[in-house]
C-alpha cells in the first residue's frame, strides 16, 4: 500500500486534508469489502492506483469545464457508481478545489448505496446518491461519467434519456475499447477524443473516451428497416 500511495501522491499533488479523506475512504472500503463485493479481489492492494488515481484523472479532464462560464451549474452524474468510482473521488477533488458542483452517484444495488451513504458521512462529502437504474431517470446531465459498467452497445441506449445534445460523456475503457467502438459505429454518431492512460495507472493499453454530440444514426436504422421490409415482402410473394 505504501508504494501504491506514494505513486498516487507523485501523480497528483493533493492537499493533506484530501489525503486524509482518501485514507478514511481506503480503510472503510477494505472493511466493507468483507460484507459487500465492492471491488475486485485482485485490486485490494492497489486501491490508490487502481481506483483512486484512475478516478481522479477524470476530474482533471473536466476541470476546465468547471472553471468556465456557468461551470458551477453543470450537472454531473456517475452511472453504476458501485464503490464510488469514479464519482465519489471526482467529488473529493472538486471539493479540494472549492467547486460547488455535486456529483449524482447512480447505483441500482441497495447494499452499495448503503455503503455510499456511510462513506459520505465518514469523509464529509457532498455527492448525492440515487438508488436507481439509469433507464428510469428523467433528468438531464451535462457531464456523464462511468467506469467498468457495460459495453458501449448497451451503454448508449441506456443513457439516451439523460443526455442533451451538448452533453459530454467520459468513459475509462480497457484494451477492448476499439472493439466496443466498432460495435456502435453504424448505429450511433458522435465526436470522439481518445486519451491514452498514464502508464503508471494502466499497462494494458486502456484509454479514456471523451464523447460529445452523441445521437442515433437514424439513416442507418431506416436503411436496415427498409432492407428487412424488402426481404420480408420478397419472401411473401
Task: Find, among 172, 202, 12, the residue nearest to 79 by Cα.
Answer: 172
Q: What is the DSSP letter of 70?
A: T
User: Which pLDDT does position 224 carry in this prediction?
Assistant: 45
User: Which pLDDT does position 228 carry in this prediction?
Assistant: 46
160 in a domain, yes or no? yes
User: Which pLDDT does position 159 carry in this prediction?
Assistant: 96
Range of the domain at 227: 57-236
What is the full per-residue pLDDT of the chain (237 aa) written as tens digits?
458 898 899 889 899 999 999 999 999 999 999 888 899 887 888 899 889 999 999 999 999 999 999 999 999 999 999 999 999 999 999 999 999 999 999 999 999 999 999 999 999 999 999 999 999 999 999 999 999 899 999 999 999 999 998 999 999 998 899 999 999 999 999 999 999 887 767 667 789 999 999 999 754 444 444 344 445 445 655
111 in a domain, yes or no? yes
221 in a domain, yes or no? yes
Average pLDDT, the chain: 89
26 in a domain, yes or no? no
What are the residues whose beta carbons fall under 8 Å from the beta carbon of 227, sequence distance 6 or more? Answer: none
The model's pLDDT over 57-95, given as tens digits with 9 standing for 90+, comes to: 999 999 999 999 999 999 999 999 999 999 999 999 999
70 in a domain, yes or no? yes
User: Which pLDDT does position 45 carry in this prediction?
Assistant: 83
Alpha carbons 212 and 90: distance in angstroms, whole number: 20
* pTM attached to this predicted model: 0.88
User: Which pLDDT does position 229 carry in this prediction?
Assistant: 46
**Segment (H or E) for 17:** helix 16-33
User: Which pLDDT does position 220 carry in this prediction?
Assistant: 44
42 in a domain, yes or no? no
User: Which pLDDT does position 225 carry in this prediction?
Assistant: 43
| CB contact at 8 A, 94 and 145 | no
Residue 143 belongs to domain with CATH number: 3.40.50.150
Q: Give me the number of domains the chain comprises.
A: 1
107 in a domain, yes or no? yes
Cα 109 → chain centroid: 16
146 in a domain, yes or no? yes
What are the residues whose beta carbons fall under 8 Å from the beta carbon of 150, sequence distance 6 or more? Answer: 80, 158
Alpha carbons 63 and 60: distance in angstroms, whole number: 5
Amino acid at each position: 500500500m505504501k508504494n501504491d500511495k506514494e505513486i498516487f501522491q507523485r501523480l497528483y499533488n493533493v492537499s493533506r486534508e484530501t489525503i486524509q479523506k482518501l485514507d478514511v475512504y481506503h480503510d472503510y472500503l477494505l472493511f466493507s469489502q468483507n460484507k459487500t463485493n465492492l471491488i475486485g479481489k485482485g485490486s485490494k492492494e492497489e486501491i490508490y492506483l487502481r481506483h483512486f488515481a484512475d478516478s481522479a484523472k477524470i476530474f482533471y479532464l473536466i476541470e476546465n469545464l468547471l472553471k468556465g462560464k456557468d461551470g458551477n451549474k453543470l450537472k454531473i452524474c456517475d452511472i453504476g457508481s458501485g464503490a464510488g468510482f469514479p464519482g465519489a473521488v471526482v467529488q473529493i477533488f472538486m471539493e479540494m478545489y472549492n467547486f460547488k458542483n455535486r456529483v449524482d452517484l447512480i447505483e441500482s444495488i441497495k447494499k452499495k448505496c448503503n455503503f455510499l451513504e456511510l462513506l459520505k458521512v465518514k469523509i464529509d462529502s457532498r455527492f448525492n446518491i440515487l438508488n436507481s437504474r439509469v433507464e428510469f431517470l428523467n433528468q438531464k446531465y451535462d457531464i456523464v461519467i462511468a467506469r467498468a459498467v457495460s459495453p458501449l452497445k448497451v451503454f448508449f441506449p441506456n443513457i439516451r434519456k439523460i443526455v442533451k445534445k451538448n452533453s459530454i460523456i467520459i468513459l475509462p475503457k480497457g484494451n477492448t475499447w476499439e472493439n466496443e467502438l466498432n460495435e456502435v459505429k453504424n448505429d450511433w454518431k458522435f465526436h470522439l477524443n481518445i486519451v491514452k492512460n498514464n502508464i503508471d495507472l494502466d499497462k494494458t493499453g486502456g484509454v479514456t473516451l471523451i464523447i460529445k454530440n452523441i445521437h442515433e444514426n437514424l439513416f442507418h436504422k431506416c436503411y436496415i428497416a427498409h432492407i428487412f421490409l424488402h426481404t420480408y415482402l420478397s419472401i411473401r410473394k
